[in-house]
Structures are given as structure tokens and as C-alpha cells.
Amino acid sequence: MEELSAAGEPAIATHALTKRYRGGQLAVDRLDLVVPRGSVFGFLGPNGSGKTTTIRMLMGLIEPTSGTARVLGEEMPRAGRRVLPRVGALIEGPALYGFLTGRDNLVRFDAADPTADPRTRKARVDAALDRVGLVAAAGKKARAYSLGMKQRLGLAAALLQPRELLVLDEPTNGLDPQGMREIRTLVRGLASEGTTVFLSSHLLDEIEQVCTHVAVMAQGRLLTQGTVAELASSARGRLAVTTPDTAEAVRVLKEHGVNDLTVDDDRVTGELPVVARELADLNAALVRAGVRVRSFGTERASLEDAFVALTGEGFDVAG
Ligand SMILES: Nc1ncnc2c1ncn2[C@@H]1O[C@H](COP(=O)(O)OP(=O)(O)OP(=O)(O)O)[C@@H](O)[C@H]1O
Ligand SMILES: [Mg+2]
């Protein structure tokens, strides 16, 4: 069989990737992940679901117990020396020198990169500081940085060079809403320049706002992966009726087999019937019963609906 060229391969592909820590904890369980090039890929899961462990294996920081991980078309951790210079990474708790200023931390990071030209170092550092909004705080010692500022500095280090792939472990951890918005804008900008961005998060909302693709983890296992649109459409939307006669509407809908009815002010929502044709019958039944229907329709499912359908309402933190 002809071997695929590296450029045609996904940015990340894992096969049955598994990590069992020494204590016996199965942190990642036979993970098959495919991250298309050019995607903004959200790696979603609650605390302890195996996100950081997966990212550490992808970056060659820990060895998998079994299974394989390919990054930018090459086997990790074996090809780390070739692959890692093409990847920018921000992993849980970036290692910073507290006694150095933010700027000098970046200078050090840049100097540690043998491919970085010292003559253009200052320009790279300034550009990275600017991108993450740290220009004003650049002269402050890193130990005096807030959590959010440290996070920004770690991100700046990952952005010193243009990269094919950015791997960001909970990039908005510790950031305020304004900071989160800035990171989203930054990620969108990077993606529009062609960088593949793989970011982990336990915030559904954040994933929905910035990602094209998503994988959902729970307790070390992959529940699903695909485009955000696919996942959202896999959850059926809900029937929504606006009426002043909510009690009567609930009675009629229940009688016609609509489940999971809820009332919120003048809005009654419930599970959509399986057959679209039944929708018209439902509407007719409401009108026949004297329910004054102000609006009748369906609401599109959100990623959250899909998520709840998958996990059965929020998911428990791994023990
Ligand atoms: N070094 C380690 N030794 C033993 N067990 C570990 C180690 N690191 C993580 N674990 C365990 O592996 C599981 C997955 O942890 P991991 O840090 O990968 O989760 P996570 O999804 O990144 O969580 P969070 O959202 O809290 O960052 C957890 O049960 C955790 O307790
Ligand atoms: Mg983590």
C-alpha cells in the first residue's frame, strides 16, 4: 500500500492510545482520536477525564502504556525531535522563572530554541507579548503574575514561532471573561492563518464558541467526536409552544404523547415527536382544545443538549 504523505495525514491521530499510571489508575482507555488539519478541535471532558494525560502523551512527555499516537504525520514519542519544533504547546501550569520578568522569561524560551535567530529575538518576544495582551505587564516579575497572567505568558511562549499545530491545555484557565474572549479571538485568528488548534476545556460553552470539531471524554474514554454541527444535530431539538394557556397546552401535549414537558413563563417545551407530520397534528389538537397558540415550532438543539444526551446530565468526576 502506498504510504500517505505526511501533509495528507491528520494533525493528530491516535489508535487505541492507553495510559495506566503506576498506581493502577487507567487515565486514558483505548483512545482513537482524529484531529483534521486546519480544525479548531475542542477536547472536552470533566476534571480527571484524561485530557492532560492524553496531551502529555501526544507531546512525548510521558510514554503510553499501549497504543499509538501520530502527530503531524509522525510517530510520537519516537519522532519528537522532528515533530516538536513544529508544535506550540501550553500544558497545565507552564514552567516559568519567578525571578525573571515576563519578557525575560520569553527571551529565555526563545533562546532555548536552536532554530530561533537571536537577531530577531526582540521582535518575536514583543509580538508574542502583544498577541496575548501582556505588553503593560511585561516588566513585572513572573512570580508577581496572577494565574491568568501566567497563563497568558505560557501562551505567549507557545506563540513565539509560527507553528503548524498548537496544543493548548485549558488555555482559559484562570482568565476572566474579558481574557477568555481575547483568547477566543486569538484562536480564531491563528486558525484563519492555517494553524491547527487543539485545545482542551471542561467548558462546553467555550468549545461551542470557538471550535469546529469536538471530542468528548469521560473517565478516560472517548464518548464521541465530530464536527460541532454534527454533534449538535445528533441531539434532537425540542418542540416549543408559546401560549397564555400553558396548563391546558401541557395537558393536550401530554395526551398526544409528548414527553419531558416543561413550562417556563408562557413557553411550553417538550421532546419532539419522531415523525415530522405529527407536528401539524399536535398544533391542530392544541387549537381544537381552545389553547391560544402564539407560536408553535421547534428549537434547534445546542451542543449542550447533545452533551446531556450523551452523558445523561453532567458527568461525574473520575474517582
Ligand atoms: N501522575 C499521575 N499519577 C497517577 N495518576 C494520575 C497522574 N496524573 C493524572 N492521574 C489520574 O489520571 C486521571 C486523568 O487525569 P488527567 O489529569 O489526565 O485529567 P484531566 O482531564 O486533565 O483533568 P482536569 O480537567 O482536572 O485537568 C485522573 O483520575 C487522575 O487522578
Ligand atoms: Mg488537565
Q: Which CATH number belongs to the domain containing residue 262 in this structure? A: 3.30.70.980
50 lines ligand 1 (CB under 6 A): yes
Give the pLDDT confidence score for residue 3 in this predicted structure.
Answer: 44
Give the pLDDT confidence score for residue 173 in this predicted structure.
Answer: 85
Pocket test for ligand 1, best of 21, 203, 316 (most atoms within 8 A of CB): 21
Give the pLDDT confidence score for residue 46 in this predicted structure.
Answer: 85
pLDDT band at 314; cut points 50, 70, 90 = low
Res 34 pLDDT > 90: yes
* Distance of CA 155 from the midpoint of ligand 2 (Å): 16
> Is 309 contained in some domain?
no
Both 64 and 34 in one domain: the answer is: yes
Both 106 and 196 in one domain: the answer is: yes
27 lines ligand 1 (CB under 6 A): yes
- HEC string of the chain? CCCCCHHHCCCEEEEEEEEECCCCCEEEEEECCEECCCCEEEEECCCCCCHHHHHHHHCCCCCCCEEEEEECCEEECCCHHHHHHHEEEECCCCCCCCCCEHHHHHHHHHHCCCCCCHHHHHHHHHHHHHHCCCCCCCCCEHHHCCHHHHHHHHHHHHCCCCCCEEEEECCCCCCCHHHHHHHHHHHHHHHHCCCEEEEEECCHHHHHHHCCEEEEEECCEEEEEEEHHHHHHHCCCEEEEECCCHHHHHHHHHHCCCCCCEEECCEEEEECCCCCHHHHHHHHHHHHCCCCCCEEEEECCCHHHHHHHHHCCCCCCCC
* Distance of CA 49 from the midpoint of ligand 1 (Å): 7
How many domains in the chain? 2
Q: Which domain holds residue 214?
A: 2-233
- The larger pLDDT score, comparing residue 276 to residue 80, is at 80
pLDDT digits (tens, 9 = 90+) for 152-184: 999 999 999 999 999 999 998 888 888 888 889
Give the pLDDT confidence score for residue 35 in this predicted structure.
Answer: 98
The average confidence (pLDDT) of the chain is 89
Q: Which CATH number belongs to the domain containing residue 108 in this structure? A: 3.40.50.300
* Closest CA to ligand 1's atom 11: 27
Both 194 and 246 in one domain: the answer is: no
Res 131 pLDDT > 70: yes
Both 145 and 273 in one domain: the answer is: no
> Is 283 contained in some domain?
yes
pLDDT digits (tens, 9 = 90+) for 278-304: 888 999 999 999 999 999 988 876 777
Res 64 pLDDT > 70: yes
Pocket test for ligand 1, best of 20, 31, 51 (most atoms within 8 A of CB): 51
Res 136 pLDDT > 50: yes
53 lines ligand 1 (CB under 6 A): yes
